[in-house]
Chain A
Amino acid sequence: MTIMIENNKALQLEVAELMVQALNLDTSANEIDPDAPLYGDGLGLDSIDILEVALVISKRYGLQLKADSENNHEIFSSLHNLTSYVAANKAS
């Protein structure tokens, strides 16, 4: 159990780093609040940012995001949710 939490923490930081790099965010990966919204008010991402993040995440973890198959807003509602989605769907 402890190992899983640690793994998710590591993955969360990795995902955050991908986002920071892909979007050239003026913030460091460990400064992103895992529970704050990525869209709009929180990190301030827009739909094109999401497209860019989706591309790097698809390439890194071998998964394809689709707007109609999952609740897209839910996945990108926070770093925490995005990480859970990646953990559950990534190719091993």
Chain B
Amino acid sequence: MALMQTLPLITHTSFAKPIAWRKGISVSVEEFLADVNYLATLLPAGKHILNVCKDRYHFSVGLAAAIISNKVSVLPPTHTPEMLRQLQIFSPDVFCLYDNDDCDIALPRFNYPTMPKHPAKKVSIPRINTQQLIAIVFTSGSTGQPNPHPKKWGSLVQNVQAQAKRLGLSESNEYSFIGTIPPQHMYGFESTVLLPWQSGNAISSAQPFYPADICSAMQSIPAPRILVSTPLHLRLLLDSELNIAEPALLLSATAPLSYTLADKVETTLKAPLIEIYGSTETGQIATRRTIDGDSWQLLPQIKLTQQGEQVFAEGGHVEVATTLNDIIELTEPGFFLLHGRTQDLINIAGKRSSLTNLNHHLNAIEGVIDGAFFMPDELSHDHVTRLSACVVAPNLTASQLLAALRTKIDPAFLPRPLLFLETLPRNATGKLPREALKKLFDTSINKDLSCTQN
């Protein structure tokens, strides 16, 4: 990589090819580049840009215009007033690029312009310095201050190129990408914008919300289609029992999928479902086809090393050895097993496990649609604090479920109480925040909802 000074913005080999689809109409590479050049001449002077465009095509034009103007896109985890305040401290010149009328981001704002009909002008694909800072992705941090993670062009490109190769993508496939996750999220940024750019494929501008929206977005673009999604959206899509135009490939990230859901998705949608493993710090580093087993395969050149309890990723696009916040078991070279996040380590009376591991077993039970364990705050070190769990399992009784669990986990981890629910309190990215679970169990204790399905 060191020898290579620049890499192209996009890898499309023809200016006439579609790079995006908007409401059933294709946008050619040539039109895209003209839009990018036009927007770049209008952007405010600030070096940092918060691109909140809802239309994925607008987002991609905003990102490209920022890149060719040597601006840095900032991607915070939320847009709360406190986070915006922190962003302004971090980068006082930050401004917001938006395309929806109800945008209320309290920063200097710039409205995505109505694009004029560009005069026929020769465009070229810009080449970007591999050392150029493209984005700063923030994580919440534990002390209230967001942690910045800088992303350079060379590393981003190397990452999605490796991903494209793993997934077997190339320009000759003419794929269209539809995302149920926003491009402002690291996963959406890589897999719904950079991946199509760097594999010569096209982006759907849609940001589908309801299952019916996903279906019409899929219907509005030609096959082959790639649906980039999450366990939450895939479950809702299946439960809606709508007819969906078949995807050629499905991607999922943000939380591990259960075998049961993955199998059902593959059978119903008749396409392979690949899970992506990564983090904000490292980008994407491994994949697995869930129905083939638990093992994750690292992207080529990525190596994991273990030092004590900690596992570090290094190599390829990961320039500096980076700690992974997960319990990882190195198996054969290039493969590993994920046993949960290190923060969710469980220790009950000397027996150790992790919430992710327990959740995996819970969700693997036939009849369990969704389920989660919860470790309540310890009231006293003298008392053993027990796990709680909540499940969505309309056709199981509590005793059936506990009997099945007993065959998988140590009795110390059996939940009490066990709540039967209609849905779990997952957030926008399908994750289950501990606070949400805590609230759930705090309120349900008084309601005596436990074991209602006897």
* Residues in chain A within 8 A of chain B (CB atoms): 21-24, 26, 46-48, 51-52, 54-56, 58-59, 64-68, 72
In the complex, residue of chain B having the shortest beta-carbon distance to the beta carbon of A52:
B423
Q: Is B384 an interface residue (CB 8 A)?
A: no
Q: CB distance B210 to A46 under 8 Å?
A: no
Q: Give min CB distance, A83 to chain B, whole Å.
A: 18
Please, which residues of chain A bring their CB within 8 A of the CB of B447? Answer: 26
- Chain A CB within 10 Å, residue with most, of B212, B242, B428: B212
Q: Which residues in A have their C-beta under 8 angstroms from that of B240?
A: 55, 58-59, 64
Chain B residues within an 8 Å CB radius of A24: 421-423, 425, 440, 444
User: What 9 new A-B contacts, CB under 8 Å, besides A26-B447, A59-B240?
Assistant: A23-B422, A23-B423, A24-B440, A52-B236, A56-B422, A58-B240, A64-B212, A67-B208, A68-B216
Question: Is the C-beta of B104 less than 8 angstroms from some C-beta in chain A?
Answer: no
Contact B425 A66 (CB under 8 A): no
Contacts A26-B443, A51-B210; is A66 near B216 (CB within 8 Å)? Answer: yes
Whether the Cβ atoms of B428 and A54 lie closer than 8 Å is no
B213 touches A (CB below 8 Å): yes
Measured between beta carbons, the chain A residues less than 8 angstroms from B239 are 55, 59
Give bound CA distance, A61 to B443, whole Å.
30
Residues 405-454 of B at the A interface (beta carbon under 8 Å): 421-423, 425-428, 440, 443-444, 447
Docked pose: A63 CA to B25 CA in angstroms: 28
Closest to B209 in A: A67
Q: Is the CB of A66 within 8 A of B421?
A: no
- Judged by a CB distance under 8 angstroms, whether B232 is at the interface is yes
Report how far A51 CA is from B209 CA in the complex, Å.
Answer: 8
A18 to chain B, nearest CB (A): 9
Most-contacted residue by chain A among B210, B216, B440 (CB, 10 A): B210
Asked if B76 lies at the interface with its beta carbon under 8 angstroms from chain A, I say: no
CB <8 Å contact, A66 and B422: no
A21 with B212: CB separation less than 8 A = no
Shortest C-beta distance, B433 to chain A (Å), equals 11
Q: Do A67 and B423 have beta carbons less than 8 Å apart? A: no
A48–B370 Cα gap in the complex (Å)? 15
Q: In the docked arrangement, what's the CA distance between A68 and B216, Å?
A: 10
Are B211 and A55 in contact, CB atoms less than 8 angstroms apart? yes
Q: A48-B428, A58-B240 are in contact. Are A66 and B423 (CB under 8 A)?
A: no
| A–B Cβ pairs within 8 angstroms, 28 of them | A23-B423, A23-B425, A26-B443, A26-B447, A46-B427, A47-B428, A48-B232, A48-B427, A51-B209, A51-B210, A52-B236, A52-B423, A55-B236, A56-B422, A58-B211, A58-B212, A59-B239, A64-B240, A64-B242, A65-B210, A65-B212, A66-B212, A67-B208, A67-B209, A67-B210, A67-B213, A68-B213, A68-B216
Q: Closest 10 interchain pairs by CB?
A: A67-B209, A64-B212, A26-B443, A66-B212, A21-B422, A22-B422, A52-B423, A65-B210, A67-B213, A24-B421
B residues contacting the other copy or chain, number (CB 8 A): 23
B residues contacting A by CB (< 8 A) are: 208-213, 216, 232, 236, 239-240, 242, 421-423, 425-428, 440, 443-444, 447
Asked whether, in the complex, the Cβ of B426 is within 8 Å of the Cβ of A48, the reply is: yes
Cross-chain contact B423 with A47 (CB below 8 angstroms): no
The complex places the Cα of A68 from the Cα of B54 at a distance, in Å, of 13
Q: Which residue of B lies closest to A18 (CB)?
A: B422
A21 to B212, CA, bound (A): 22
Give the contacting residue for A51; candidates B216, B236, B425; CB below 8 A. Answer: B236
- Are A64 and B427 also in contact (CB < 8 A) when A55-B236, A58-B240 are? no
Give the chain B neighbours of A67 by CB distance below 8 A. 208-210, 213
B219 to chain A, nearest CB (A): 12
Q: Chain B contacts of A48 at CB under 8 A?
A: 232, 426-428
Give the CA-CA distance A54 to B213 in the complex, in Å.
12
A52-B213 Cα distance, complex, nearest whole Å = 14
A7 and B444 CA atoms in complex are apart in Å by 32
- A contact residues around B426 at 8 Å (CB): 48
User: Of all chain B residues, which has the CB nearest A65?
Assistant: B210
Quick check: B210 and A54 within 8 Å, CB to CB? yes
- A66–B443 contact, CB under 8 A? no
Query: What residues on B are CB-neighbors of A68 within 8 Å?
Result: 213, 216
Q: How far is the CB of B428 from chain A (nearest CB, A)?
A: 6
Closest CB of chain A to B200's CB: distance in Å?
29
Chain A neighbourhood of B208, CB < 8 A? 67
B329 to chain A, nearest CB (A): 32
Name the distance in Å between A55's Cβ and chain B's nearest Cβ.
Answer: 6
Report B385 CB to chain A, min CB distance, Å: 23
| Shortest Cβ distance from residue B122 to the other chain A in the assembled complex, whole angstroms | 36
When distances are taken between beta carbons in the complex, the residues of chain B under 8 Å from A46 are: 427-428
> Which B residues are in CB contact (< 8 Å) with A65?
210, 212
Q: How far is the CA of A65 from the CA of B240 in the complex (A)?
A: 11
Residue of A whose beta carbon sits closest to that of B439:
A26
Q: Give, as a whole number of angstroms, the nearest-CB distance from A23 to chain B.
A: 7
A59 to B239, CA, bound (A): 9
